[in-house]
Amino acid sequence: MLTPQATEEEPTEQAPLLGSRGGAVQDGSPTPLSHSHLRLLVLVCISIVAADFGNSLTLAPQISIFESLICRRIEAGDDCKSADVQAELALLIGWKETIDQLPGIIFALPYGFAADRIGRKPILVLCLIGLVLEEVAIRLVCWWNVALPLRMIWATPVFQIIGGGSQTATAMAYAMITDVVPMDRRASIFYIMAAVILLGEILATPISAFLMTWSPWVPSLLGIVFQLGGLLGAALVSETRPDPKSSINHNDESEPLLNNDEETEMDHDRPEDPKSGYQRVKQTLSEYWHHVRNTHLKGWDFNMAFIVLTFLLASISRQAMQLIIPYASKRFSWSIARASFLITLKGVINLVTLLLILPRLSTWLSTQMSWSPAVKDLRIVQGSAWILTSGMALMAFAAIPELFISGLSLFALGWGFYSALRSLATSLVDPSQVGVLNSGIGLAQSLGSLVAGPILAAAFGRGLRQGGIAMGLPYMVASALLFMSSCLACAIRIAGEKRRL
């Protein structure tokens, strides 16, 4: 069980990772958001949505550009849908997705500590700068394809060293929202943010397809413009890092991290800390490891292991969606622009599921079935997992477009699985373990994305060479992984009536 003292200390330990200062707001009623906080929320949402919209705008045209360059280099003539071209395209995309995960895995923790010391805004701005530079580098490699090999795009994620990549950018955005939004309002703000991002992705696909009628380079370059707009929005955001002076833990037993901040911001007349930067970092890392080790020993059980493994397997299968455009284009002899509308269809169904179906289902399960929040989330997780598995399996064996679209629609209906599983996991741990839990889930998702690229690319290439029903091999692999995730979800047990945290 968690002692009151442990609950008070936890926010300062978790802050570098999650940006959460929830301890101060847990006990009091939420106050209305001020105009400055509303302005900050709007700017953060604009920044993230603009960057994500720009990325979605370039998805289909980038694949089209890659395909045409590969076709020209292989000298396949007009047959750009040949097995050799499509296998190389899948390999190119798969390894690019894999390498994209490395900076986030390596630099997430250092940039998390930096955000706690110097603020969230500088890290968010650095992240977006690195991502924009990466996109510019990809365009330059494609433009100078005569002199540069196309596989050189695998080196472009090196720019994500600046800021830590998209994972760190997302973490900073959620940290900034967490800093200013009362606890009981955060879920609704997160839902709105996710819905707006989905809406942006839905709109980006037809706009991109329309612009591709002129040239794929038009939406490809326009996407960078929107990403620059996201960077501008981040530059206008005010800092949200909590002031140490207002901390409820401002006493002699405060975290060393907060004391160091106070020395820099308030006590200019005091002598400088004799410790070197290396010693301070070493001390911080030592304290973090001590916290992780203790929380693992105190509370993690088989349920948490099942949840993290479920996230890992489901994250690998989730990456199969990255192949949907080249797969549908090859399988059904569609144009890239036409195949990209499948992304719009999935986004619309995702939006309806997250904003209409799941909230009403959740309310019905609470009022009519009288289930506790943990039991309700568990049943939604289990049901969604089997829906995902069924949809992916249908996509794998679909020989006609109508059946493939039906499988995709069914898969999209289960998309609430990821949010429900995270909610379930949070309800099953003490507040002192939320930081460790999110770190474990984040690491599982990153590792899943890391291995998914080459596995699914190899399956796609093999399926293309064999032809026939084997063309659905990447989705067969994904459905098998989702089947294992569903079995793990069914193994999660809630002992009695789980207490609400």
Question: Tell me, what CATH number does 219's domain have?
Answer: 1.20.1250.20
Q: Give the start-end residues of each E strand in 49-193.
A: none
Q: In a 3-state reduction of DSSP, which class is residue 497?
A: coil
CB atoms within 10 A of CB 301: 11
Q: Using CA atoms, how far apart are residues 485 and 309, in angstroms rounded to an integer?
A: 8
Based on the fold, state whether residues 67 and 216 are members of the same structural domain: yes
Whole-number pLDDT of residue 198: 78
Helices and strands, counts by H and E, the chain: 18, 0
For the chain, the maximum distance between any two Cα atoms, rounded to a whole number of angstroms, is 76
User: Which of 243, 259, 284 finishes a domain?
Assistant: 243
Whether residues 144 and 210 share a domain: the answer is: yes
Q: Is 26 among the domain residues?
A: no
Domain count, the chain: 2
Quote the CA–CA distance of 257 and 406 in Å, as a whole number: 53
216, 344: one domain: no
Residue 250 within any structural domain of the chain: no
| Type and span of the H or E element at 181 | none
pLDDT reported for residue 8 = 38
Q: Select from 405, 438, 268, 274 the least CA-distant residue to 331.
A: 405
Q: Return the pLDDT at 300.
A: 52
In-domain check, residue 424? yes
For residue 475, the model assigns a pLDDT of 92
Same domain membership, residue 449 and residue 378: yes
Query: For residues 37 and 49, what is the distance between their CA atoms, to the nearest angstrom?
Result: 18
In whole angstroms, give the CA distance from residue 462 to residue 429. 43
The answer to whether residue 62 sits within a structural domain is: yes
Last residue of a domain, one of 216, 243, 270: 243
- Residues 26, 325: Cα–Cα separation, whole Å: 45
Closest C-alpha among 172, 164, 174, 492 to residue 305: 492
Task: Tell whether 223 and 348 lie within a shared domain.
Answer: no
| Within-domain flag for 272 | no
Same domain, 189 and 336: no
- Tokens at residue 175, please? 């940290």
Domain end position, chosen among 243, 264, 284: 243
Q: How far is CA 22 from CA 7, 10, 419, in A?
A: 10, 9, 20
What is d(CA 464, CA 470) in angstroms, rounded to the nearest whole number? 7
- pLDDT means per 10 residues in the chain (501 residues)? 37 39 40 69 82 85 89 76 82 83 77 74 87 92 88 91 81 73 60 73 83 90 90 80 49 38 40 52 58 49 79 80 85 84 85 82 80 82 92 92 93 84 72 53 73 81 85 91 90 61 36
pLDDT at residue 442, as a whole number: 65
Model pLDDT for residues 436-491, shown as the tens digit of each residue:
555 566 667 777 777 777 788 788 888 888 888 888 999 999 999 999 989 988 88
Q: Are residues 48 and 160 in the same domain?
A: yes
What is the rounded CA–CA span in Å between residue 363 and residue 431? 25
Domain that holds residue 172: 33-243
Q: What is the pLDDT of residues 212-262, one digit of tens each?
A: 889 899 999 998 999 898 888 888 877 766 654 444 443 433 333 334 443
| 348 lies in the same domain as 228 | no
Cα 43 to chain centroid distance, Å, stands at: 20
Same-domain status, 222 and 317? no
Q: Is residue 312 part of a domain?
A: yes
| Residues 496, 365: Cα–Cα separation, whole Å | 17
* Nearby residues of 359 by Cβ (< 8 Å), 6 or more positions away: none
Quick one: 195 and 313 in the same domain? no
In a domain, 136, yes or no: yes
pLDDT the model gives residue 464: 83
280 falls within a domain: no
User: What pLDDT shows up at residue 188?
Assistant: 57
Q: Are 357 and 485 within one domain? A: yes
Residue 235: half-sphere exposure toward Cβ, Cα within 13 Å? 8
Residues 303 and 236 in one domain: no
